Amino acid sequence: MIYPIKTAPVFKQYIWGGDTLKTKFGKPIPDGFAAESWEISCHSDGLCSVAEGEYKGKLLCDVIFANTKAMLGKEEAGVFPLLVKLLDAKDKLSVQVHPNDAFAAVHENGELGKTEMWYVVDAAPGAHIVYGLKKGTTPEVFKKAAQNGTLEEYLNYVPVKKGDSFFIPSGTVHAICEGLLIAEIQQSSNTTYRVYDYNRTDKDGNKRPLHIDKAVLAADYNACGMQTSLPEKISFEGGTSQIIAECKYFTVIKYDVNGTVSISKPDTKFEMLICTEGRGAVEYNGTDYDFSAGDSFFIPAAITAYKLKGKCELLRSYE
Ligand code: ZN
């Protein structure tokens, strides 16, 4: 059976998390605390499952790989390429860098690289991110500063507000800082090289490991500038849309829906939806699949037309 598949996430309890996934989205986070929810994931570190319908309770990856033609639009499918997350950064994340595909293939047992994008769902006043290194920071300086715990003076800080989006190519030194609620679309990879963790310890007094040598090799020392202009917002009956990220791995389009928006798509691509504000429904074949903020759907490739209805903000992404 083919229908828009609402997913049930896997929660991750990293030290920087909070309770916003519960207070804002009503998610059943364990012990009232979570850093991330992996909303659409076929990565072995966090396999999400199906929340509703015929496949309810099954792992999303099992449903997808039992019928790759209908689900992914191709008979031969390798790894599922993308991952959608929500992140509640009550505290700041470590300063980190992700490898590209070539580096990860060699150093991480064939894992994918990790290019990612962030959409800022909510931001506390004064919130900021780390994006890239200050101009002129060499691999030698970067390594020494990471080893000495003095990296902060070489980081490029960028103020952030609700509604901003950021494209983070692999190799970009980055960090999400405190007070940010973020939706992330990324390559399906869990490889992170941590270079600075503010000398923090967990509840048992342990520091998290750093991966300085690999980070020095994986970092892009020219990644100091970010994409500052986006394609124009398009208005139509029932809402607006704007492409907020586009690269060889994914396209992400933000929709503000106020009414009904019709979407048609090829039968060769799956799509992913995550609602970030409001509520509505995905209409397919005359049936409404309701959602509210925080809900995500996997749209099988075989669905070639659907509608987004309601009053909501959502991100639509595809390969
Ligand atoms: Zn990252």
Q: What is the 3-state secondary structure (H, E, C) of 119-152?
A: EEEEECCCCEEEEEECCCCCHHHHHHHHHHCCHH
Q: Quick check: 170 and 113 in contact, CB under 8 A? A: yes
Model pLDDT, residue 202 = 79
Model pLDDT, residue 78 = 87
* Ligand 1 centroid – CA 312 distance (Å): 27
Q: Which of 194, 208, 279, 316 is catalytic?
A: 194
How many Å apart are CA 250 and CA 271, to the nearest integer?
Answer: 10
Coil, helix or strand for 81? coil
* Ligand 1 centroid – CA 205 distance (Å): 24
10: tokens are 């896997």
Residue 225 — pLDDT band, cuts 50, 70, 90? low
Average pLDDT along the chain: 95
* Ligand 1 centroid – CA 292 distance (Å): 26
* Ligand 1 centroid – CA 316 distance (Å): 20
101-105, 226-230, 279-283, 314-318: segment of lowest average pLDDT:
226-230
* Ligand 1 centroid – CA 94 distance (Å): 9
How many Å apart are CA 314 and CA 202, to the nearest integer?
Answer: 34
Residue 199 — pLDDT band, cuts 50, 70, 90? confident
* Ligand 1 centroid – CA 67 distance (Å): 31
* Ligand 1 centroid – CA 177 distance (Å): 12
Minimal CA–CA distance to 74: which of 282, 304, 267? 267
* Ligand 1 centroid – CA 35 distance (Å): 13
How many Å apart are CA 165 and CA 208, to the nearest integer?
Answer: 28
Q: What is the mean pLDDT of residues 272-290?
A: 98
Distance of CA 211 to the CA centre of its chain: 22
Model pLDDT, residue 46 = 97
Q: What is the mean pLDDT of residues 232-259?
A: 96
Q: Quick check: 254 and 244 in contact, CB under 8 A? A: yes
How many Å apart are CA 21 and CA 263, to the nearest integer?
Answer: 29
DSSP character at residue 283: E
Model pLDDT, residue 224 = 61
* Ligand 1 centroid – CA 75 distance (Å): 31
* Ligand 1 centroid – CA 236 distance (Å): 34
* Ligand 1 centroid – CA 173 distance (Å): 9
Coil, helix or strand for 249? coil
Segment 149-165, tens digit of pLDDT: 899 999 999 999 999 99
How many Å apart are CA 58 and CA 40, to the nearest integer?
Answer: 13
Model pLDDT, residue 45 = 95
303: tokens are 């669905």
How many Å apart are CA 99 and CA 192, to the nearest integer?
Answer: 8
What residue type is assigned to position 141 of the chain?
A: V
Q: 194 catalytic, yes or no?
A: yes
